[in-house]
């Protein structure tokens, strides 16, 4: 069983992060989930799913119930004592989906001010896979510089950009395409969308 860290930061597009977690769990992987404080509000606003709670334990109960899985563990972004903050916590990589420009900047500068940034910093220092789905439009030169800086050290920059050659029938078809491409970038087999040819 493989293990991945999935962080959902405070940018629009939380549905991509939720669907990614769902797909990883369905493929029999373990997930270490980090949700930023802002992302709880965005998740509820954009999807109607309320995962917020007063403690890590209360959020964990909601997360496990929502995903119908015990192979997931939530950690608060303020918990710098969480396993993902240490290089001795071995994973197969990390996704930040969606990735806000604030989080992108923190990762690019090695700021490690919260658990999302620290976990990404650890993944980088340990030479593991890091995939970011930056969610902003248009990108400024600062955003692009940060992405280029990270891409040059092996981070995969995968904005949630849809395609339409598979003729999606609804919004779920677009979401599944983006999540399928994120899983492809990590080498995780999936059949979330019809491939070209």
Residue 156 lies in a domain: yes
Q: Is residue 54 part of a domain?
A: yes
Residue 167 domain-assigned (yes or no): yes
Give the contacts of 138 (CB within 8 A, at least 6 positions apart): none
Q: What is the mean pLDDT of the chain?
A: 97
- Look up the pTM and report it: 0.97
Mean pLDDT computed over 105-127: 98
Q: What is the pLDDT of residues 79-100, one digit of tens each?
A: 999 999 999 999 999 999 999 9
CB count within 10 Å of CB 34 equals 27
Number of domains in the chain: 1
Token reading at 30:
């373990």
Domain CATH for 157: 3.40.50.1950
Q: pLDDT for 158-177, tens place per residue?
A: 999 999 999 999 999 999 99
* Residue 180 binned pLDDT confidence (cut-offs 50, 70, 90): very high
CA distance 99 to 91: 19
pLDDT reported for residue 197: 79
- pLDDT per residue over 7-64, tens digit each? 999 999 999 999 999 999 999 999 999 999 999 999 999 999 999 999 999 999 999 9
Domain containing residue 74: 3-186
Tell me, yes or no, whether 84 lies in a domain.
yes
Examine residue 195 and state whether it is found in any structural domain, yes or no.
no
């Amino acid at each position: 069983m493989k293990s991945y860290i999935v962080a959902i930061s405070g940018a629009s597009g939380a549905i991509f992060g939720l669907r990614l977690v769902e797909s990883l769990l369905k493929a029999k992987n373990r997930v270490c989930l980090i949700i930023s404080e802002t992302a709880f509000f965005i998740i509820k606003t954009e999807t109607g799913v309320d995962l917020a709670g007063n403690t890590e334990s209360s959020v964990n109960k909601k997360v496990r119930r929502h995903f119908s899985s015990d192979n997931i563990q939530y950690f608060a972004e303020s918990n710098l004592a969480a396993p993902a903050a240490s290089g001795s916590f071995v994973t197969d990589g990390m996704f930040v989906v969606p990735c806000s420009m604030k989080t992108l900047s923190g990762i690019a500068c090695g700021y490690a001010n919260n658990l999302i940034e620290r976990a990404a910093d650890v993944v980088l220092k340990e030479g593991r896979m890091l995939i970011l789905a930056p969610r902003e439009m248009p990108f400024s030169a600062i955003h692009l510089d940060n992405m280029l800086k990270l891409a040059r050290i092996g981070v995969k920059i995968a904005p949630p950009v849809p395609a339409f050659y598979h003729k999606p029938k609804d919004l779920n078809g677009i979401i599944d395409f983006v999540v399928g491409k994120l899983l492809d970038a990590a080498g995780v087999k999936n059949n979330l969308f019809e491939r070209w040819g």
